[in-house]
A and B are shown apart, each in its own frame.
Chain A
Amino acid sequence: MTIWEKVIRLKSETTTRLYEPAIHFQKVSYKVKDTEILKEVTGSFPKHRITTLVGPSGAGKTTLLKMCNGLLSPTSGEVYVEGLPLQDISPIQLRRQAGMVLQNSPVMDGSVYDNLSLPLRLQGKELSEEKATDILNQVGLDRKYLRRDSRNLSGGQQQKVSIARTLLNESNILLLDEITSALDPSSLREVEELIRKLNEVHQITVVWITHNLEQAKRMGHYAWIMIDGQLVQTGNISALQHSDDPSVERFLRGEFK
């Protein structure tokens, strides 16, 4: 094998690796009573990449995200995580592997430290001060916040604490639901940098729901567009530039919320 053949082989290997799905949805539907919230969604979130998930309010984005870590199960269809059907993975293991930051990022009563140590306390472990400080720094808060009452923090600070808390599980998949909605522009950049770093340095797969199309284009390698419970467009981030589907095009031009 010549060096060039090796390079080509390596390249094709990496390409296939890049496209390998971390999470795959196969004809996933979700019904509550008679309302169909998700309608036969089929698609993948590629491994080690950032996929941004956009769509108008009520499209079913949060519902779909909660299926990635087994907080919800589809009423029909199948979700695969790293090739395994969801019901073959223990829920606890799955949820540590696929960390989630929720839309409304609830902070629990108690100090910031109490919140950060929660993931470890659930496993009967303790969180060291250094590690807590380190993770706080990573989300752009300094050490003095550790003993602050988390209920007295601003919305943006709570959002940061909630991101840091999820990061402490050291998941290899991150599921993010509107995590920058309460952040000022400079904090927003910090969080975006952090997520990009986690993805680039630690190869963490990211699924990121956002209402901000600019952010979706800026941060995503791939994009999913959902409208009304359906996955209407998916693919490379350029999928967010233009669509032949008139309703998707209207959404992309911001005419439909």
Chain B
Amino acid sequence: MSTTALLLTLIFVFIPIILSKTLGLQLEKDTVIATVRSTVQLLLVGFVLKFVFDSESYLFIFLMVSLMIGAAVQNARKKGQQIKGITWKLIVTFVLLEVLTQGILLGFKIVPATAQYIISLTGMVIGNSMVLSILFLNRFVAEVETHRSESELILSLGGTPKQAIHRQLIRSIQASMIPTIESQKTIGLVQLPGMMSGQIIAGADPLEAVQFQILVVFLLLTTAALTSVCLGLLSYPTLFNERMQMIQRGNDSSDE
């Protein structure tokens, strides 16, 4: 793409700004911020990736992956502040997921162990895992609050914390996994996945792009399942104290 062509794409930024101005949507400022941020961030990533790819050093790959996980944790933790130690729980989840998926991909030589593959696939896995974590945490916190009396009932009948929170946990895991599964049912029919489109535009053979997309689809199923299950199992114990009581909202004393 030439520089003029790239500059012309700014038309796509002016359209929403003009619409926002005329209709009083008050979204001009956010649109400008989003535009500047995405441009700067993507350019930066472009340079960094070029550097990492050229260096072919595993240290840089490692740093890059750590950076991605760090950013994902930063983003997702805001949604789970009610859960104690959410930062660590997210780190454990993302690292586990990364190790497992890359272990399988590289261990079975499904993809070559080059920076291009590792970093792109990590980006997709961790990015999706982050979105899923946010979905899961939102849902889980809401489920726990609305079904507090059910949990209390199970505890009062002599159930364990795990039994008391089981339904809420299952419902939140399901709810966060369903969008991934559903969107994959219609993949290719309604919209072409961004990654595949990118590859095709860049000149790849569509069939090869499709093969790779299939890999990604399967990978994201594992991502969805593992993220919500892992985060769920790590999170539920923090809702109870050692006396098997549900920690009360806004009560500092009952968590001893």
Contacts and interface: CB of A to CB of B under 8 A. Distances in A.
A106 B153 contact: yes
CB-based closest 7 A-B pairs: A91-B244, A96-B158, A122-B159, A95-B158, A100-B156, A119-B157, A75-B253
Contact of A108 (B150, B246, B250): B150
A118 B152 CA distance: 13
A72 B252 contact: no
A15 interface: no
A91 B243 contact: yes
A102 B250 contact: no
A208 B206 CA distance: 73
Contacts, number: 71
Interface of B: 149-150, 152-160, 163, 243-246, 248, 250-254, 256
A51 interface: no
A165 B157 contact: yes
A102 B149 contact: yes
A154 B253 CA distance: 38
Interface residues of A, number: 28
Given A71-B245, A87-B243, A102-B149, A33 B156 contact: no
Nearest to A162: B153
Interface-centre pick from B155, B248, B252 (highest chain A CB count, 10 A)? B155
Given A33-B250, A33-B252, A122 B158 contact: yes
Contacts of A102: 149, 152-153, 156
Contact of B157 (A70, A87, A122): A122
Contact of A72 (B159, B160, B163, B254): B254
26 contacts: A32-B250, A32-B253, A33-B250, A33-B251, A70-B243, A70-B244, A71-B245, A72-B248, A73-B254, A73-B256, A75-B253, A91-B243, A92-B158, A92-B160, A93-B158, A95-B157, A99-B156, A106-B149, A108-B150, A108-B153, A118-B154, A119-B157, A122-B160, A123-B158, A166-B157, A169-B158
A11 B152 CA distance: 41
Nearest to B159: A122
Given A71-B155, A73-B256, A95-B155, 6 more contacts: A31-B253, A32-B251, A33-B250, A91-B245, A106-B149, A119-B158
